[in-house]
Amino acid sequence: MGKNDNANTGMRKGLTSYGDAGFSLFLRKAFIKGMGFTDSALDRPIIGIIDTGSDYNACHGNMSDLIDATKRGIMLAGGLPIAFPTISIHESFSHPTSMYLRNLMAMDTEEMIRAQPMDAVVMIGGCDKTVPAQLMGAASANLPAIQLVTGPMRTGSHRGEKVGACTDCRRFWGRYRAGEIDDQEIAEVNDKLVPGTGTCGVMGTASTMALVTEALGMMAPGGATPPAVSADRRRIAERSGELAVQMAASDLTPDKIMTEKAFENALSVLLAIGGSTNGIIHLTAVAGRMGIKIDLDRFNEMGRNVPVIVDLKPSGTQYMEDLHDAGGLVTVLREIRDHLHLDCTTVTGRTLGEEIDDAPARFTQNVVSDNKSPLYAEGSMAVLRGNLAPRGAIIKQSAASPDLMVHRGRAVVFKSIEDLTLRVDQDDLDVTKDDVLVLQNAGPKGAPGMPEAGYMPIPKKLAAAGVKDMVRISDARMSGTASGTIVLHVTPESASGGPLALVRDGDEIELNVPDRSITLHVSDEVLDKRRQELVLPVHANSDRGYRKLFLETVTEADLGCDFDFLMAQPADTTADER
């Protein structure tokens, strides 16, 4: 008899219901032996490997290499690797938006972890929504789990200038819209922006989620930054497989790692790296699966004290490959050590403080500044409140224009993304550079899916006149690769009848980032009248399938845009409060 025969481990985990446990195990082993496995192999701890490879997903183009390296690490540690597929989401190939599918991938991840026999799982993802989806699923399944990311792409070169997706995508497209470059050059740029496999090489959402996941303790130390095509990335994959076997043996489950303190560590890193605004939504969703609520006011307070110290686009000038060469995340952790909970457990079984202390020695580099001379004295994000955003809104102040951080202007309102697309470039659009662009009905329910439409284009006639930035406000999201004075995640959203839905052309709106306020200068009486006349949008084809589930159960940005029935109740919530 094998060592796992009398335990709820390995092949005995979660037996299929045939009414006869012995027969269930017998049949399971018969079929997997059809893949060539022996009884000796099947007697080992089983480590699942989530394969999110797809021909649609260049961010995951190195998946087969990483699976091979992960399998090697698992086998060297005495485990049996079993790879299996789940949904793959790519940012540019998901209609209407990748965020619409994140929760579906999280459900897929959770249920496949639960359904199939495994003692631990290595989750391989990379593109923006895949990592949070996997962390959400792992949190709910609560099986020993470790995150492995596919890694950032290398940079390309355009006419002697280093370029990379996707901050440079937006920069060159903005120049093209303004008539500064022609059709031939924009076509040349298109060939150079993504020179190979990997996630965006700037501080977009993919890079952000990789770094905050390592800070959270759910990734092998040093695992966030190695480029996708590097030997370092394969070595991290091997190490992840080895750690998964150890985690299975010690039953190191996500609830022992993803604690409230660990999320504060992740939020501190989010602020220090100039991370994507998407990061706060995703961390809120993952925390929600653990019954932990991310307090936006606490996050705002942290932002006053944790400076931006990483010189990466769009808040800086460099790329992820430069951060890797500068030592990776540990270089950042050393500088913000005083803001971290060093006693938090990581996937190694050791504390974050121990991993920092044991990392390779620091050396001179020019990507991460010291705490005394940061790129920005405050964190990358600020939480705004006011009568336009009673439950909060987010601005990435490190990527905004300093001269627009305090601004009052006239609203130019677009009622939907379709309305924006149709009218923003019309010559007769009544707009000046001092106005405030407002986009309604682009939130979780309004769009649906809360697309990255918050980065509204500068109206073409203003772009042609040299205008590079304007204050823009919406209930949508923005890519972490984008920059500008852009207010996002306004809650409540327009489609829920929030104040954003009541804004009309010509209203005065005041933004004051230092005071953390966003104010609609319209009387309560006028707003009450508009609210009585408000007609909320109704989506077509919303009476069936996933769209029906999404619209009926998705929460708003301040709760992570998760499905309400998947969120765990906080540990201290009483039955009456539920």
Measure the CA–CA gap between 304 and 407, rounded to whole angstroms.
20
In a domain, 570, yes or no: no
Does 229 share its domain with 187? no
pLDDT in tens, 385-407: 999 999 999 999 999 999 999 99
Domain of residue 440 covers: 381-533
**C-beta neighbour count of 395 within 10 angstroms:** 27
Does 186 share its domain with 200? no
Q: What is the CATH number of the domain that holds 353?
A: 3.40.50.2300
In a domain, 183, yes or no: yes
In a domain, 57, yes or no: yes
Does 234 share its domain with 339? yes
Residue 260 amino acid letter: E
Does 128 share its domain with 166? no
Contact 287/294 with Cβ under 8 angstroms? yes
In a domain, 116, yes or no: yes
pLDDT at 7: 63
pLDDT at 513: 97
pLDDT at 574: 36
Q: Are strands 406-414 and 145-149 parallel, antiparallel or unpaired?
A: unpaired
The tokens describing 145, both together, are 């789990």
Measure the CA–CA gap between 545 and 532, rounded to whole angstroms.
32
Strands annotated E in 92-226: 120-125, 145-149, 156-158, 161-163
pLDDT at 429: 97
Does 118 share its domain with 219? yes
Residue 487 amino acid letter: V
Does 186 share its domain with 252? no
Residues 187, 188, 192, CA angle at the centre, nearest 5°? 115
Measure the CA–CA gap between 471 and 411, rounded to whole angstroms.
10
pLDDT at 4: 47
Answer with the one of 358, 373, 407 that is the final residue of a domain: 358
What DSSP assignment string belongs to 317-356? Answer: SB-HHHHHHTTTHHHHHHHTGGGS-TT-B-TTSSBHHHHH
Does 206 share its domain with 280? yes
Does 420 share its domain with 462? yes
Helices (H), 38-84: 39-42, 63-76
Answer with the one of 301, 327, 358 that is the final residue of a domain: 358
In a domain, 26, yes or no: no
Measure the CA–CA gap between 90 and 146, rounded to whole angstroms.
21
Q: State the DSSP code for 310.
A: B
Cα-trace Rg, the chain:
24
pLDDT at 175: 92
Does 188 share its domain with 200? no
pLDDT at 571: 55
Block residue for tokens 């991993």? 355
Instruction: Answer whether the bond into residue 459 is a cis peptide, omega within 30°.
Output: no
Considering its fold, how many domains does the chain have in total?
3
Sheet of strand 46-51, all strands in order from the earlier edge strand to the far edge: 80-85, 46-51, 120-125, 145-149
In a domain, 546, yes or no: no
pLDDT in tens, 314-342: 989 999 999 999 999 999 999 999 999 99
381 SS3 class: strand
Measure the CA–CA gap between 561 and 578, rounded to whole angstroms.
19
In a domain, 314, yes or no: yes
In a domain, 563, yes or no: no
Q: What is the CATH number of the domain that holds 473?
A: 3.50.30.80
Does 64 share its domain with 178? no
Instruction: Answer whether the bond into residue 166 is a cis peptide, omega within 30°.
Output: yes
297 SS3 class: helix
Does 268 share its domain with 299? yes
Does 405 share its domain with 529? yes
Measure the CA–CA gap between 295 and 274, rounded to whole angstroms.
19
Low-confidence ranges of the chain (pLDDT < 70): 1-7, 570-578
Q: Are strands 156-158 and 161-163 parallel, antiparallel or unpaired?
A: antiparallel
